């Protein structure tokens, strides 16, 4: 009996010890998870992701981006998009190159892996020919976006972090998928005209994005500078939305003009020159007057003109 009670007591103590250990382990796990969440919340990349969530969704639902997602992107859409991307990346990469040694820019400066300008130039030459620079057309929204990039490159280089993150990681994340969609939709072969979507300097997009976010999170900013960068990231998405909408409006106007000037369009027929219907009553009156005048004139002429063929008979 005494042995049985001793064993029972030891089992009870063991259960208590195990319960305490499990409780401590649970608490430690919760602390670790909480610390991890807090670390993520302080990461600049996570903060930008949260701050731009709504704008990101709106950008994805613009008519132009939906055309890509549905596999219905047209050649006209893509060519105009390339023109705007050229202007945007020219401004962005010039600003990044100029500020490559800035403490906020240096950690996220990857020209070999990410630079897009040369690739876009190659695509534009494929579609427009060697004189493609003379054929570039962009909406006002693209000009405003490019102006903003040049402005912050001179006045607030730390804001370039927001724009580089928005553009490069967005293109790197969706580039492969969108490239395949564009190729299929437009019937392009051998990658011609699709250099923009190719990142030959990045062997693993997922690993590179992790590296980029890590570098981005290492940028030292004051609290005010961090808040300003977050606001700039939201503004970057707004610029992109305005560009997409501006491009779609340009396409709509071009399509309408093409319909208006098409010889088979109803609008041209409606604007065709309408000849006035003749007033037959007035015509009859005028003709009658003309005939009368001609008749009177002929009568006067006959009376007034001697008959030279008449010979007086000899007596």
What pLDDT, on the 0 to 100 scale, is given for residue 145?
Answer: 98
Give a yes or no: residue 163 inside a domain. Answer: yes
Output the six-digit token pair for 117.
């300008």
What pLDDT, on the 0 to 100 scale, is given for residue 21?
Answer: 45
Q: How many independent structural domains does the chain possess? A: 1
What pLDDT, on the 0 to 100 scale, is given for residue 300?
Answer: 35
What pLDDT, on the 0 to 100 scale, is given for residue 20?
Answer: 54
Output the six-digit token pair for 38.
């807090």
Give a yes or no: residue 25 inside a domain. Answer: no
Give a yes or no: residue 283 inside a domain. Answer: no
Give a yes or no: residue 112 inside a domain. Answer: yes
Angstrom distance (rounded) from CA 91 to CA 95? 6
Give a yes or no: residue 304 inside a domain. Answer: no
What pLDDT, on the 0 to 100 scale, is given for residue 42?
Answer: 86
**Backbone φ/ψ region at 188: left (φ over 0), alpha (ψ -120 to 50), beta:** beta
Quickly count: other Cβ atoms within 10 Å of residue 293's Cβ: 10
Angstrom distance (rounded) from CA 139 to CA 135? 13
What pLDDT, on the 0 to 100 scale, is given for residue 61?
Answer: 94
Give a yes or no: residue 301 inside a domain. Answer: no
Output the six-digit token pair for 74.
């047209």
What pLDDT, on the 0 to 100 scale, is given for residue 168?
Answer: 96
CA 112, 116, 119, 121 dihedral sign is negative
Q: Over the stretch 110-139, which tens digit does the pLDDT of each residue have?
A: 999 999 999 999 999 999 999 999 999 999
Range of the domain at 49: 44-255
Is 284 annotated as contributing to ligand binding?
no
Give a yes or no: residue 138 inside a domain. Answer: yes
What pLDDT, on the 0 to 100 scale, is given for residue 27?
Answer: 46
- The CATH number for 232's domain is 1.20.910.10
CA 275, 281, 284, 285 dihedral sign is negative
Element (H, E) at 248: helix 223-260
- Residue 247 in contact with residue 139, Cβ under 8 Å? yes
Is 49 annotated as contributing to ligand binding?
yes
What pLDDT, on the 0 to 100 scale, is given for residue 295?
Answer: 40
Angstrom distance (rounded) from CA 258 to CA 252? 10
Is 118 annotated as contributing to ligand binding?
no
What pLDDT, on the 0 to 100 scale, is given for residue 19?
Answer: 53
Angstrom distance (rounded) from CA 240 to CA 92? 13
Rounded (10°) angle between helices 2-42 and 44-51:
70
The four Cα atoms 129, 122, 96, 143 give a dihedral, to 10 degrees, of 40
Output the six-digit token pair for 48.
């930008």
CA distances in angstroms from 107 to 139, 196, 214, listed in the order given: 33, 23, 9
Is 261 annotated as contributing to ligand binding?
no
What pLDDT, on the 0 to 100 scale, is given for residue 269?
Answer: 37
Give a yes or no: residue 183 inside a domain. Answer: yes
What pLDDT, on the 0 to 100 scale, is given for residue 40?
Answer: 60
Residues of the chain with confidence (pLDDT) below 50? 3, 14, 18, 21-22, 25-39, 265-278, 280, 282-283, 286-287, 289-315
């Amino acid at each position: 009996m005494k042995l049985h009670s001793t064993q029972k007591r030891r089992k009870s103590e063991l259960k208590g010890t195990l319960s305490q250990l499990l409780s401590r382990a649970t608490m430690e796990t919760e602390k670790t998870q909480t610390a991890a969440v807090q670390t993520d919340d302080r990461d600049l990349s996570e903060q930008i992701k949260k701050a731009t969530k709504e704008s990101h969704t709106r950008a994805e639902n613009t008519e132009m981006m939906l055309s890509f997602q549905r596999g219905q992107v047209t050649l006209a859409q893509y060519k105009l998009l390339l023109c705007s991307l050229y202007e945007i990346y020219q401004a962005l990469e010039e600003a990044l190159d100029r500020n490559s040694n800035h403490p906020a820019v240096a950690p996220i400066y990857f020209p070999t892996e990410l630079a897009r300008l040369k690739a876009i130039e190659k695509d534009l030459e494929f579609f427009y020919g060697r004189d493609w620079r003379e054929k570039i057309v962009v909406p006002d929204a693209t000009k405003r976006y490019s102006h903003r990039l040049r402005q912050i490159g001179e006045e607030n280089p730390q804001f370039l972090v927001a724009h580089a993150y928005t553009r490069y990681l967005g293109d790197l994340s969706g580039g492969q998928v969108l490239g395949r969609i564009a190729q299929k939709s437009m019937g392009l072969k051998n990658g011609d005209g699709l250099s923009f979507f190719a990142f030959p300097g990045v062997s693993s997009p997922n690993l590179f994005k992790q590296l980029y976010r890590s570098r981005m999170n290492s940028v030292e900013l004051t609290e005010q500078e961090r808040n300003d960068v977050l606001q700039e990231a939201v503004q970057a998405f707004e610029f992109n939305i305005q560009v997409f909408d501006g491009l779609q409006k340009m396409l709509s106007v071009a399509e309408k003009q093409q319909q208006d000037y098409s010889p088979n369009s109803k609008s041209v027929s409606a604007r065709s020159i309408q000849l006035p219907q003749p007033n037959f009553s007035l015509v009859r009156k005028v003709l009658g007057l003309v005939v009368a005048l001609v008749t009177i004139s002929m009568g006067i002429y006959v009376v007034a003109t001697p008959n030279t063929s008449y010979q007086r008979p000899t007596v």
